[in-house]
Chains A and B, each alone.
Chain A
């Protein structure tokens, strides 16, 4: 997030797109509800009539995967009506002339044809956002899990740049990270292109820095993304360590993933449960869990916070850092001589400029948001104040592209996937907790009542849903949250492995899977 969570009750116009925040980040959503109670206007762009959309002043029900058209049209309206922040554009950005030219063709009427959102509604939303003193954008995976994920984010960035909604309280571009420490995993350098602190592996100076720290010269060449590694399993990749991820259920294209993992010579899984992925492993190593492990999580607002062990680990389970150190020692390394989680974290701080002013003791109360470049630095709750990391904010000119697959005669229905309030990811944890399991213990397919009737389905009856990659059986729930022609399902239940269907395409820059769009066929199943 560019701005802190504490800012979320401060905007006067809130623009949420691709975020089912009341279900996926409920506590953050409470702050938006409080902003609304104080009079803020809420604009929600989402294909479904989600709870947040029901609270919205304007709901833009765009067709799945049409975000670039919608956002480009909003920018078009702002430019055509002269609602830009001219001084912000002049002082803090570059590329405005080219983006202004680029936006000319993004008329609201054109966008209506693609998104299905009435042109007048697009205009209304654009004007409200542009005229806000403090306009804030919030998004989640509904923006990034597309083949146009990068284009979507750049379209949002254009909107914020042209209206000067960055670097001030109650504004910003704010991605809500979905996992407790997904920000931290990136911060720690678990990326094919970055050392800890997002320092590029292609930079020879970084290579030298880490060679000095670790005694190994690491390639200048970036590694593969996980998507490519699975694709090349059995060809270029022969051994894999998977730590704390139920890849088989959570990744796109289940069958492809199962075949890929099956082609490996050697699969080691470190986890807390014998997940579907662990069942495929050659070696399964039991990790100590949350509440058993000392460590650090960094949240969506870049705030490292301490987690603490309160109970002993179950059985012989051990912390991940100990497990990785023991394997490394057996591979002949002397670089893993740690006695505690604190030592590991302090090594990270010593190598990451973002954490340079932090250590295990300083983060005890979770008071700092990175970057914290030196020891007496107060942290950085808000990014982009006065200057962007690259200097001037750069406008981009993303063009609209259709999703990797679009509805057709064989697969006439849009499937979009996500989470539900009661459960988390593949339910390894929430499915083993009495309360959450009591409220929801079976997946259903959310189908608009008109479609239930038109497709010969029954509320509570079974349906077969198929894509070119596979099919699943799922119980039908008649529910007008999804619009006609679009259905929704979560990926939480292994009994309904929805990712047997997904996997139509990937963003060409980030390799992020298009999990939010998958044309399917839905047919009734008797009995």
Chain B
């Protein structure tokens, strides 16, 4: 049996178990949120996603309201937008910097900033008390803990618990005393934190930030994202490489990655600085008088080829062997095996899977 409801005057189908927010977000992106991350159980805390449902007493949070057949739902009305503006004004009153957060802080870091533009909020309407205080004294070089910008949406706490199963961070205090904290208020490295960075990437205000990326905050070029795959283990997590000009400035997880659905670990998230490290090999080297010295490509390739030819001539074609990498892409492994098979007619080829 097909299930339908009316959404802003249009009849739309849905599936048993879906929330109003899930149904609505398939039909346009009109409903604002701050505490929502599609991978997490809905919390209904920020109240921005409220909608009007015919027959209901007052607006309902769409993220926690199950869709039911025959419902008539309105997602954008004058009342709803006024209500949402008040909420954004309230949230921004605690976060005067809300509108000027560097996007390098994290994947969702611009959500509040975008809402401030949409609702014309600047935080002055309810200016006064604030909650959360930054922990710049945490010495770890990965996760910025700038809780002055925290709006207590608990996305970080929930992603750590529900998505990661690590329960490394929690909430202390109430009201204006609310503070996101590692257990017993320790530094993150002394907690159960595994530095997967998921809290950074789900934070909608940049209260948590990627310190490795932020070291490039001052580079003037715009940020470009290039979709790729993590270079470490075999899970194959999708991620975006963030670049400014010719500089790699960071990594953010891809929410639509088939293997990871937005998750990364410490290595995928933070261990990328080696790419442009000064230790990289930048020119061919050949051994002369016992020392490896720089050479032109021409010279190095000639020397490489000559050595293989000589071994083949002196000791037979089976005397030449190649080891392909399990780290380099297909085009490398394919070329290495073809190099052996085509040039020497043998199968003297392996990769690093046996040790």
Interface residues of A (CB under 8 A from B): 5-6, 22, 24-28, 30, 33-34, 36-37, 55, 145, 176-193, 195-196, 201, 210, 214-219, 221-227, 229, 236-245, 247, 250-252, 265-266, 268, 271-274, 278-279, 281-287, 289-301, 303-312, 314-321, 323-328, 330-331, 333, 335-336, 341, 344-345, 347-348, 366-367, 421-422, 424, 428-436, 438-439, 510-513, 515
Q: How far is the CA of A249 from the CA of B345 in the complex (A)?
A: 30
Q: How far is the CA of A336 from the CA of B301 in the complex (A)?
A: 15
Asked if B348 and A217 make an inter-chain contact with CB atoms under 8 angstroms apart, the answer reads no
In the assembled complex, how far is the CB of residue A240 from the closest CB belonging to chain B, in whole angstroms? 5
Q: Given that A178-B233, A184-B330 are contacting pairs, would A292 and B336 also be in contact in the complex, using a CB cutoff of 8 Å?
A: no
With a cutoff of 8 Å between Cβ atoms, the chain B residues found around residue A273 in the complex are 274, 279-281
Asked if B304 and A179 make an inter-chain contact with CB atoms under 8 angstroms apart, the answer reads no
8 Å CB contacts to A: which residues of B263-300?
263-268, 270-277, 279-287, 292, 297, 300
Q: How far is the CA of A193 from the CA of B232 in the complex (A)?
A: 26
B246 on the interface (CB 8 Å rule)?
yes
B328 on the interface (CB 8 Å rule)?
yes
**Ranked 5 nearest A-B pairs via Cβ:** A315-B282, A295-B329, A299-B236, A244-B325, A33-B165
Q: How far is the CA of A27 from the CA of B285 in the complex (A)?
A: 38
Interface residues of B (CB under 8 A from A): 140-142, 162-165, 189, 194-196, 212, 224, 226-238, 241, 243, 246-248, 257-260, 263-268, 270-277, 279-287, 292, 297, 300-312, 314-315, 318-343, 345-355
Asked if A319 and B331 make an inter-chain contact with CB atoms under 8 angstroms apart, the answer reads yes
Q: How far is the CA of A192 from the CA of B341 in the complex (A)?
A: 10
Q: How far is the CA of A283 from the CA of B276 in the complex (A)?
A: 23
Asked if A182 and B351 make an inter-chain contact with CB atoms under 8 angstroms apart, the answer reads yes
Asked if B234 and A327 make an inter-chain contact with CB atoms under 8 angstroms apart, the answer reads no
Q: How far is the CA of A284 from the CA of B231 in the complex (A)?
A: 22
Q: Given that A25-B233, A274-B281 are contacting pairs, would A344 and B335 also be in contact in the complex, using a CB cutoff of 8 Å?
A: yes
In the assembled complex, how far is the CB of residue A90 from the closest CB belonging to chain B, in whole angstroms? 35
Q: Given that A180-B229, A196-B337, A324-B336 are contacting pairs, would A225 and B189 also be in contact in the complex, using a CB cutoff of 8 Å?
A: no
With a cutoff of 8 Å between Cβ atoms, the chain A residues found around residue B233 in the complex are 24-25, 176-180, 424
Q: Given that A293-B329, A438-B141 are contacting pairs, would A310 and B224 also be in contact in the complex, using a CB cutoff of 8 Å?
A: yes
- A37, A286, A312 — most chain B CB neighbours (10 Å): A286
Q: Which residue of B lies closest to A252 (CB)?
A: B355
Asked if A266 and B307 make an inter-chain contact with CB atoms under 8 angstroms apart, the answer reads yes
Asked if A366 and B189 make an inter-chain contact with CB atoms under 8 angstroms apart, the answer reads no
Asked if A331 and B355 make an inter-chain contact with CB atoms under 8 angstroms apart, the answer reads no
Asked if A435 and B328 make an inter-chain contact with CB atoms under 8 angstroms apart, the answer reads no
Given pairs A251-B355, A303-B259, 5 additional interface contacts (CB within 8 A): A196-B337, A218-B341, A283-B286, A292-B275, A311-B276
- B234, B266, B297, B340 — most chain A CB neighbours (10 Å): B234
Asked if A291 and B330 make an inter-chain contact with CB atoms under 8 angstroms apart, the answer reads no
Q: How far is the CA of A180 from the CA of B271 in the complex (A)?
A: 14
- A145, A185, A291 — most chain B CB neighbours (10 Å): A185
With a cutoff of 8 Å between Cβ atoms, the chain B residues found around residue A26 in the complex are 194, 196, 265-266
Q: Could you jot down 16 A-B contacts, CB within 8 Å?
A: A27-B235, A30-B263, A145-B355, A186-B351, A190-B336, A215-B342, A289-B275, A307-B229, A307-B231, A315-B283, A325-B335, A333-B343, A430-B232, A431-B274, A432-B273, A433-B270
Asked if B348 and A229 make an inter-chain contact with CB atoms under 8 angstroms apart, the answer reads yes
Asked if A179 and B301 make an inter-chain contact with CB atoms under 8 angstroms apart, the answer reads no
Asked if A327 and B305 make an inter-chain contact with CB atoms under 8 angstroms apart, the answer reads yes
Asked if B305 and A429 make an inter-chain contact with CB atoms under 8 angstroms apart, the answer reads no
Q: Which residue of A lies closest to B270 (CB)?
A: A435
Asked if A291 and B280 make an inter-chain contact with CB atoms under 8 angstroms apart, the answer reads no
Q: How far is the CA of A325 from the CA of B342 in the complex (A)?
A: 11
Asked if A243 and B323 make an inter-chain contact with CB atoms under 8 angstroms apart, the answer reads yes
- B270, B281, B303, B322 — most chain A CB neighbours (10 Å): B281
Asked if A178 and B234 make an inter-chain contact with CB atoms under 8 angstroms apart, the answer reads yes
Q: How far is the CA of A292 from the CA of B318 in the complex (A)?
A: 34
Asked if A335 and B338 make an inter-chain contact with CB atoms under 8 angstroms apart, the answer reads yes
- A222, A303, A308, A311 — most chain B CB neighbours (10 Å): A311
Q: How far is the CA of A236 from the CA of B319 in the complex (A)?
A: 6
Asked if B279 and A432 make an inter-chain contact with CB atoms under 8 angstroms apart, the answer reads yes
B284 in complex: contacting residue of A5, A30, A279, A283, CB < 8 Å: A283
With a cutoff of 8 Å between Cβ atoms, the chain A residues found around residue B307 in the complex are 239, 265-266, 268, 282-283
Asked if A241 and B229 make an inter-chain contact with CB atoms under 8 angstroms apart, the answer reads no
A296 in complex: contacting residue of B226, B280, B320, B331, CB < 8 Å: B331
Asked if A238 and B315 make an inter-chain contact with CB atoms under 8 angstroms apart, the answer reads yes
Q: How far is the CA of A325 from the CA of B343 in the complex (A)?
A: 11
Asked if B326 and A185 make an inter-chain contact with CB atoms under 8 angstroms apart, the answer reads yes
Q: How far is the CA of A375 from the CA of B255 in the complex (A)?
A: 27
Q: Given that A27-B260, A30-B263, A284-B285 are contacting pairs, would A218 and B346 also be in contact in the complex, using a CB cutoff of 8 Å?
A: yes
Q: How far is the CA of A265 from the CA of B142 in the complex (A)?
A: 46
Q: How far is the CA of A373 from the CA of B208 in the complex (A)?
A: 46
Q: How far is the CA of A296 from the CA of B246 in the complex (A)?
A: 22
Asked if B228 and A210 make an inter-chain contact with CB atoms under 8 angstroms apart, the answer reads no
Q: How far is the CA of A434 from the CA of B246 in the complex (A)?
A: 20
Q: Given that A291-B248, A432-B277, A432-B279 are contacting pairs, would A181 and B267 also be in contact in the complex, using a CB cutoff of 8 Å?
A: no
Q: How far is the CA of A217 from the CA of B346 in the complex (A)?
A: 9
Asked if A180 and B341 make an inter-chain contact with CB atoms under 8 angstroms apart, the answer reads no
Asked if A243 and B259 make an inter-chain contact with CB atoms under 8 angstroms apart, the answer reads no
Q: Given that A30-B164, A314-B280, A316-B282 are contacting pairs, would A219 and B330 also be in contact in the complex, using a CB cutoff of 8 Å?
A: no
Asked if A316 and B243 make an inter-chain contact with CB atoms under 8 angstroms apart, the answer reads no
Q: Given that A241-B308, A432-B274 are contacting pairs, would A513 and B329 also be in contact in the complex, using a CB cutoff of 8 Å?
A: no
A192 in complex: contacting residue of B142, B309, B348, CB < 8 Å: B348
Q: Which residue of A lies closest to B237 (CB)?
A: A27
Asked if B318 and A236 make an inter-chain contact with CB atoms under 8 angstroms apart, the answer reads yes
Q: How far is the CA of A297 from the CA of B259 in the complex (A)?
A: 12
Q: Which residue of B lies closest to A503 (CB)?
A: B355
Q: Given that A193-B347, A297-B229, A314-B276 are contacting pairs, would A239 and B337 also be in contact in the complex, using a CB cutoff of 8 Å?
A: no
In the assembled complex, how far is the CB of residue B265 from the closest CB belonging to chain A, in whole angstroms? 4
In the assembled complex, how far is the CB of residue B245 from the closest CB belonging to chain A, in whole angstroms? 9
With a cutoff of 8 Å between Cβ atoms, the chain B residues found around residue A210 in the complex are 341
Asked if A331 and B309 make an inter-chain contact with CB atoms under 8 angstroms apart, the answer reads yes
Q: How far is the CA of A274 from the CA of B323 in the complex (A)?
A: 17
In the assembled complex, how far is the CB of residue A470 from the closest CB belonging to chain B, in whole angstroms? 16
Asked if A240 and B228 make an inter-chain contact with CB atoms under 8 angstroms apart, the answer reads no
Asked if B311 and A238 make an inter-chain contact with CB atoms under 8 angstroms apart, the answer reads yes
Asked if B300 and A283 make an inter-chain contact with CB atoms under 8 angstroms apart, the answer reads yes
Asked if B311 and A239 make an inter-chain contact with CB atoms under 8 angstroms apart, the answer reads yes
In the assembled complex, how far is the CB of residue A318 from the closest CB belonging to chain B, in whole angstroms? 8
Q: Given that A27-B235, A188-B337 are contacting pairs, would A224 and B321 also be in contact in the complex, using a CB cutoff of 8 Å?
A: yes
Q: Given that A27-B235, A27-B263, A284-B284 are contacting pairs, would A179 and B270 also be in contact in the complex, using a CB cutoff of 8 Å?
A: no
Asked if B224 and A436 make an inter-chain contact with CB atoms under 8 angstroms apart, the answer reads no
Asked if A326 and B301 make an inter-chain contact with CB atoms under 8 angstroms apart, the answer reads yes
In the assembled complex, how far is the CB of residue A11 from the closest CB belonging to chain B, in whole angstroms? 16
With a cutoff of 8 Å between Cβ atoms, the chain A residues found around residue B285 in the complex are 274, 278, 281, 283-284
